[in-house]
Amino acid sequence: MTKVDLMGKLVFLVAWVTLMQGCCTVKSFSYDYSSSIEASIYIPLCYDLLNCLPEPPEAQYGGGIVRNADFSDGLHGWSAFGYGGLAEGASPTGNRYAVATNRTRPYQSVSQKLLLQNDTHYTLSGLVSGGVADVRVVVKTGGDFIHAGGVVAKAGCWSMLKGGLTAVSGGSAELYFESNATADIWVDSVSLKPFSKEEWSTHRAASAGTARRKTVRLQATDSAGNPLQGATVSLETIRNGFPLGAAMSREILTNPAYQTWFTSRFTVTTFENEMKWYSTEPAPGREDYSVPDAMMEFAKQNGIAVRGHNVFWDDPNQQPRWVQGLPYQQLLAAASRRIRSVVARYAGQLIAWDVVNENLHFSFFERRFGWDASTAFYAAARLLDSSSALMFMNEYNTLEQPGDMAALPGRYMQRLKQITSGYPENGAGMAIGLEGHFTAPVNIPYMRAALDTLAQAGIPVWLTEVDVAGGPSQAYYLEEVLREAYAHPAVQGVILWTAWRPQGCYVMCLTDNDFNNLPQGDVVDQLITEWTTAPRAGTTDEQGFFQAELAHGEYKVTVTHPSLNASVSQSVKVELGSGSHHFIHV
Ligand SMILES: *[C@@H]1O[C@H](CO)[C@@H](O)[C@H](O)[C@H]1NC(C)=O
Ligand SMILES: *[C@@H]1O[C@H](CO)[C@@H](O)[C@H](O)[C@H]1NC(C)=O
Ligand SMILES: *[C@@H]1O[C@H](CO)[C@@H](O)[C@H](O)[C@H]1NC(C)=O
Ligand SMILES: *[C@@H]1O[C@H](CO)[C@@H](O)[C@H](O)[C@H]1NC(C)=O
């Protein structure tokens, strides 16, 4: 323990410096990505200190349209909501805040009346404390109660919540807090900051530029090392650096049109159902991997990376039928056979495993084996596959539904911390999977805020099953969701949940049955084009330099010069963090 604590403290010093820089650097654009609810999961000491803020930080954006956001003027501008008790609190150092007390109903809390502008995004943040409870923020408009965000509050410290909403009509509104527990709710540093749609997409484009592109200087030199002026440099993308993929169904094995359509677009995939337990072991002990094996082979032949989905699914209704009623000993034997069988079979061939799918919403295995069942499965999966495959939690509604308390970003982080605590190497190789099954209208400011919170874990975040339910704005919201994901610095890949079957897709297809694009297919193709650097060429200057702004990825660089008999080609990788200066000797 002593050794671990010491490590924790050493790493903590480094992390603290980083966090301080994060909070105090003046950003060149004005969306505030910071969120201090949780810190890196690798660092328990840091996590607890930051998760338990003794004093609330100041309101983001000075509170935005919220008046007296930090309660320095007492309760001025605020009122009791739902006939609850409201008092003013003060810390020993003199910080003032609101205390909703004597609560008997979820909605009894503190509120403020606001004026919203139509067609405007609002980013929300606030600090809560008081008792142990799930606290959420509701914005009551003319006819609607909009869930804008939530957090797991603790006693004796402040927890930050981030969220947001999009106003679809102007006018008066009221912001209040709610929680099912009757515990006191303390509130401080509340902020609601409006962004016009134009401002929002400007920040997004700037963030995408920083996260996904880089200005690269290539220098052509001759064999003696002298700069080569007037050389023609041409660049061609070999592989885009941002993994954008789609789920595939077994139909791909037999349908050449599906194959062509898929392989000309996507670099990564998840098998929709074919690797799931109910598919590979339909009857006890009768394992059949012929379909997922063939799909793996197809993916390999076409340079498509595969996510393993899934080892277990915590939903009782998604077990193989024969598993559902097994007594303890037999279930243990069956589960143990399953994890050893599937993980050992594909170990080293996958980039990821969804180890226990949806273990925030469901608890089939926890009910049978105890609260730490998932923890044990993650540790076992890691031991069975020691490759670089990332081990994912995979959950719905964390980005999609601010009202779903089971899947709040804060809940997700708690579960991740629990799993990590029993995992080899203190969590190295864990990753955050967010399904992203959206329905219109999508709460885009909430999506970004949830990503801000999850980004604090400091581990890779993927959107793993993105779709938008049908309706007139399906394509519009799909584009918004994909642009948000691409622009967020924490996101490292996206999979669309669009596996094709002749009888239809899960909720969203990209094409018709002849593989002609539907409007949402056009969106995806347009983004692939936009995010991929088109072939380009230029001439080197007197120092032999050629400069280009490129999307992260792998490029074939070809240099030709009158003094050369033949052109020279070389591959160059452009990625975050690697140098931006490359030499081509010809
Ligand atoms: C809460 O209830 C107690 C006991 O009835 C009462 O004394 C106190 O004034 C109440 N506080 C508020 C803020 O209403
Ligand atoms: C709000 O703005 C949208 C988009 O500009 C517009 O279509 C809608 O009619 C407006 N609604 C109201 C109530 O003004
Ligand atoms: C409180 O519990 C009720 C009943 O379970 C549920 O419908 C409601 O959404 C919950 N509210 C909150 C804030 O969790
Ligand atoms: C170019 O080709 C010619 C004829 O094949 C050869 O003599 C010459 O050495 C070559 N030059 C270089 C730079 O390779």
Write down the residue that tokens 């080892």 correspond to. 311
Span from the CA of 167 to the centroid of ligand 2 (angstroms): 9
Q: CA 24 to CA 452: how far, in whole Å?
A: 16
pLDDT at res. 53: 81
Per-block mean pLDDT, blocks of 10 residues, the chain (586 long): 31 26 37 62 41 85 97 97 95 95 97 97 96 95 93 91 95 96 96 97 96 94 89 95 98 98 98 98 97 98 98 98 96 97 98 98 97 94 95 98 95 92 78 98 97 94 97 97 98 98 97 98 98 96 94 95 87 85 78
The neighbour count for residue 526, using CB atoms within 10 Å, is 12
pLDDT at res. 32: 86
pLDDT at res. 426: 67
pLDDT at res. 47: 44
| DSSP character at residue 70 | T
Most ligand 1 atoms within 8 A of CB, residue of 102, 108, 182, 186 to mutate:
102
Among positive and negative, which fits the CA dihedral 60, 64, 65, 71?
A: positive
For the chain, counts of helices (H) and of strands (E): 14, 26
Ligand nearest to the CA of 196: 2
Domain-located, residue 120: no
| DSSP character at residue 242 | S
| DSSP character at residue 375 | H
Structural domain boundaries, residue 538:
207-236+534-585
Domain-located, residue 8: no
Query: How confident is the model over 382-399, as pLDDT tens digits?
Result: 999 999 999 999 999 999
pLDDT at res. 584: 78
Query: How confident is the model over 195-209, as pLDDT tens digits?
Result: 999 999 999 999 999
**Complete edge-to-edge strand list for the sheet that includes strand 213-221:** 545-551, 213-221, 581-585
Span from the CA of 401 to the centroid of ligand 3 (angstroms): 14
Query: Is residue 118 in contact with ligand 2, taking CB distance under 6 Å?
Result: yes
Most ligand 2 atoms within 8 A of CB, residue of 166, 168, 196, 197 to mutate:
168
pLDDT at res. 17: 25
Domain-located, residue 574: yes
Span from the CA of 566 to the centroid of ligand 4 (angstroms): 9
Distances from the Cα of 568 to the Cα of 16, 226, 556, 559, angstroms:
47, 16, 10, 5
Nearest CA to ligand 3 atom 6: 180
Domain-located, residue 148: no
Domain-located, residue 554: yes
Residue 538: give its domain's CATH number: 2.60.40.1120
pLDDT at res. 12: 27
Q: CA 197 to CA 57: how far, in whole Å?
A: 28
How many independent structural domains does the chain possess? 1
